[in-house]
Structure 1
């Protein structure tokens, strides 16, 4: 339905990058007026932190806290882990992000490369679901 990418500078590690991407997705979904959201992430550690009720005390605790506060704006929100290979569209977006100096937002459209990879992801998912 929509996608965006925003570059962040001085990101310490992959966990922080994943948490920042999650927060950006939630802000974007809120801006678009979505009431039900599913956030998929490739970092099982980050997804677990977002699904726990306990207070996070890791290096990304402030981002996790922000995400949990922002999550209250939705009627329904879930955080799901997906294997890196199951969503290659994200990698296409990340590659495009590296070549683009500023943020980019698409609503009901995307770049040709992203759209093509999204269709391939969908066909791979359909192949897994068919007995």
Structure 2
């Protein structure tokens, strides 16, 4: 998904997470575990904070969407465990 403005890495990770959560809602998933390699974003989501960050509104959007799930969790994974997503992000950056 193209993003027209320059953003910091955590903001981009939060935007990607918001899109994934929206997609999970769209396809009707009710119990979901979301994984991400940005500990800052995952901690903000897990703690329900991050509103003071430049991407706080994105965190709030994500928390709004997940409120409709029966179960959800946000888990931090090391980048090495997230090779496919990292490769796709690198490829998208070149496009």
Decide: shared fold, TM above 0.5.
yes
What value does the CA root-mean-square deviation take over the aligned residues? 1.7
Calculate the TM-score normalised by the size of structure 1: 0.66
Please give the alpha-carbon distance, in whole angstroms, between the structure 2 residues aligned to 1:58 and 1:88.
Answer: 27
Matched, 1:34 2:29: yes
Partner of residue 94, structure 1: 89
Q: TM-score, normalised by structure 2?
A: 0.88
Determine the structure 2 residue equivalent to 1:103: none
Flag the structure with more relative contact order, 1 or 2, with Cα contacts below 8 A and sequence separation at least 6: 1
| 1:56 Cα offset (Å) | 2.3
User: Equivalences for 1:12-51 in 2 at 5 Å?
Assistant: 12-51=7-46
Specify the SS of the correspondent of 1:87.
Answer: helix
Equivalent pairs counted in the alignment come to 95
Q: 1:59 to 1:99 in 2, by over 3 A?
A: closer
Give, in whole Å, the separation in 1 of the partners of 2:28 and 2:87. Answer: 26
1:1-131 equivalence runs, <5 A: 6-54=1-49, 56-98=51-93
Task: Tell me, in whole angstroms, the C-alpha distance in 1 between the residues paired with 2:38 and 2:49.
Answer: 18
Partner Cα distance (1:21, 1:54) in 2:
18
What are the ranges of 5 or more consecutive residues in structure 1 without an aligned counterpart?
Answer: 1-5, 101-131
The alpha-carbon distance between structure 1 residues 54 and 42, as it changes in their structure 2 partners (threshold 3 A), is: closer
